[in-house]
Amino acid sequence: MLLMDVPGLAPETDLGAIVAIQLLDRLVQLAPILSQPSSANHHERGIGMDNLTRRQFITLLGLSGVGLSGVIQGCANSTPAASPKAAGSASPSASASAAANLADKQVLIAGVSNMPASLDSMFITGTNARRWDIYEMLVSFEPDGNVKPMLATEYKRLDDTTYEFKLRSGLKFHNGDPLTSSDVKFSLERAVRKEKPLATASIFTTFKSVEAPDPQTVVIKTTVPDAIFVKRLGRLPIFPEKYYMGLGSDNDARDKAFAAAPIGSGPYQLVRFVPNEQVVLKAFPGHSWRKPILTDITIRQMVEPSAQKAALLAGDIQFINMVALNAIPQLKQMGAKLITMTKGNSLGAFIDTVTQDGKPKPPPIGDVRVRQALNYAVDKETLAKAVLGGLTIPESGQIPSSGTYGFDPSVKPYPYDPDKAAKLLDEAGFPLNGKTRFKISMASAYATPGSVRRDIGEYVQAQLQKVGIDVEYTPLMDVALATDYFYNRKARPDILHFGLFSRPYLDPSGAYNWFRSDNPATHYKNPEFDAAYAASEKELDPKKREELLWKCTKLLHDDAPFLFLTEDVWIDAAAPKLEGLIAHGSETEQYYDRLYFVK
């Protein structure tokens, strides 16, 4: 990413020299892509120079229109840099000019709400396989959920079940070993291994085989057409085969040794990791195409939003990833930068239609009229504006975020209509008995005091009580406790979770997967939904596939196995002089090689 493309960077900032160098570097990176011929599959590969439009060219350079004019202005005001000997090199005069605009110290300390138990990303199926840019994948996600080449320079679909990827040249792991197609093959085969299965196996259920015909080429086959297979590869970290295999005599030994001392190919390498406490990283000087400016990064686990806020206000840290709504005025007053993401996650909640053994749930929750009444009983407009500070919008009676692939404009939201809710509850056989009709249970995860999920849970509890539903609400603050509470107990809460990700794909597939009848989570059973969902997973034509997803959307809207509330409110905050931050719809973690401090 070019510095002049950073939102909020003043046009008059004198970064011309470093921008010129990075522009040349970016052109070198793009050379393998631009040299490829055009293809009917251009939306799935690098765009060929022969069909490259001006807009596409600017996009590939990583520049907005404003950013491009800034580059031109910056370069015009700077001493011309000598032609670099290699990507990313700079002349002494250019380096001196750039240094005048950057802070002398490029060290970031960040506070995060949850730190993984392991840095081996294959043990976790979360949305972020990069793990603070230690690792890289064949492709990476754009803010809109589309993918672009990362370790690959280009890719194409050879037939309905075969994909070919071409790798960048000069790739290296942190120990200096070259990264080749053999490492990609090893990583994918490890991800789906039968012995001691890893969490990533659930991502690649359609995988059939992978071949490495030469060091720069990878050919992957699937068992059936898979509409989002390339996106799935955005969750596959590429690990070093030689290093891993030398760590022990069996998978158990190698897994433990790798988790203790992992290496990847990303712009940052591990210095130290203390589970549930902190991770320390330093820039990887041998990276061939990403040139980080931050020299050192420390990520600290800070569960409480109040602790994160206090540390940011005190200047002890420069970035936090859990901002309580009531902290926003104080953070704004200190000049902190707020990064708000609303796409890629629903803040609604499951209303299970089946028990954990797959049997139909009895009334009241088992009655569709009751589930619809719950949706009518909650004022989503007030929730979005008053409770969530106007930072998001109500859901339109569906899980996909507005403006993303799979969003069905024909589906209408459940309006706030407590009278209709009361009528449906009466019809279902639950009249008011004094002030109460019946009692249900509700629990939400990541619901620390002051968090968005805690605020939503308390609001929904109060709203449902207005129509005579007594709600026993349990906020859960620990992820392990939440997992146990939701899935390991004999009886789950009637309403649970408050958050259903479509990240990182920004595609309904991941969220809708939870409603399959054969999903082990057992939230919902509907053969018609199952058939439409299964067909959508295999349909490679985007329009036909979207129509199948719309059918799923309508079924979920009408059956109401979900409490539709609002789109996401994910708020990060950063120190005033930290630049390069983006609101990334498909990932909640920043690209750390794009961050830097200014004076």
Query: pLDDT, tens digit, for every residue of 513-568?
Result: 999 999 988 899 999 999 999 999 999 999 999 999 999 999 999 999 999 999 99
- The percentage of the chain sitting over the pLDDT mark of 70, rounded to a whole number, equals 83
CB atoms within 10 A of CB 175: 12
Task: Tell me the mean pLDDT in the region 196-209.
Answer: 94
- Dist CA 253 CA 247 (whole Å): 7
What pLDDT is stored for residue 492 in this prediction? 86
Phi, psi of 148 (to 5 degrees): -135, 155
List the strands of the sheet with 469-475, edge to edge. Answer: 469-475, 438-444, 495-497, 349-351, 562-563
**Does 70 score more than 80 pLDDT?**
no
Residues 322-343 have pLDDT tens digits of 898 999 999 999 999 999 988 8
- Dist CA 381 CA 371 (whole Å): 19
Q: Domain map of the chain by residue range? A: 3-101, 132-247, 348-563
Q: What separation in angstroms does the CA of 85 have from each of 21, 89, 99, 244? A: 11, 6, 20, 33
Which CATH code for domain 348-563?
A: 3.10.105.10
Of 137, 136, 169, give the one whose Cα is nearest residue 265.
136
Of 362, 342, 461, give the one whose Cα is nearest residue 404.
342
**CA dihedral (127, 133, 135, 139) positive or negative:** positive
DSSP single-letter state for residue 37: P
The more confidently predicted of residues 395 and 4 is: 395
- Dist CA 315 CA 221 (whole Å): 50
Of the pLDDT bands very low, low, confident and very high (cuts 50, 70, 90), residue 127 is low
| Mean per-residue pLDDT of the chain | 84
Is the distance from CB of 165 to CB of 174 less than 8 angstroms?
no
User: Length of the chain, please?
Assistant: 599
Map residue 129 onto helix, strand or coil.
Answer: coil
**Domain 132-247 is in which class?**
alpha beta
Of 241, 285, 279, give the one whose Cα is nearest residue 267.
285
Reading the block at residue 106, the tokens are 């490029």
**Does 2 score more than 60 pLDDT?**
no
Is the distance from CB of 560 to CB of 567 less than 8 angstroms?
no
**Does 583 score more than 50 pLDDT?**
yes
What pLDDT is stored for residue 44 in this prediction? 34
Residues in Cβ contact with 102 at an 8 Å cutoff, skipping those fewer than 6 apart: 18, 293, 596, 597, 598, 599
Tell me how many degrees the CA angle 545-546-550 measures, rounded to the nearest 5: 120
The more confidently predicted of residues 485 and 263 is: 263
CA 341 to chain CA mean position, Å = 10
Helical H runs in 149-286? 181-191, 229-232, 241-245, 251-260
Q: What separation in angstroms does the CA of 225 have from each of 152, 222, 240, 527? A: 21, 7, 29, 21
Of the pLDDT bands very low, low, confident and very high (cuts 50, 70, 90), residue 36 is very low
- Dist CA 67 CA 76 (whole Å): 14
Q: Which string of b and e fits 395-430 if b means at least 16 CB within 10 Å? A: bbbbbbbeebbbbbeebebbebeeebbbebbeebeb
Map residue 286 onto helix, strand or coil.
Answer: coil
The more confidently predicted of residues 402 and 268 is: 268
- 163 pairs with which residues across the strands? 157, 220
> How big is the chain by its Cα radius of gyration, in Å?
25
Instruction: Write out the H or E segment, with its range, that includes residue 298.
Output: strand 296-301
Instruction: Point out the least confidently predicted range of 93-97, 457-461, 500-504.
Output: 93-97
**Does 65 score more than 70 pLDDT?**
no
Of the pLDDT bands very low, low, confident and very high (cuts 50, 70, 90), residue 75 is very low
- 148 pairs with which residues across the strands? 140
The more confidently predicted of residues 129 and 6 is: 129
- DSSP for 404-437? STT--TTPPP----HHHHHHHHHHTT---BTTBS
Same fold, 132-247 and 348-563: no
**Does 72 score more than 80 pLDDT?**
no
Of 17, 31, 24, give the one whose Cα is nearest residue 86.
24
DSSP single-letter state for residue 530: H
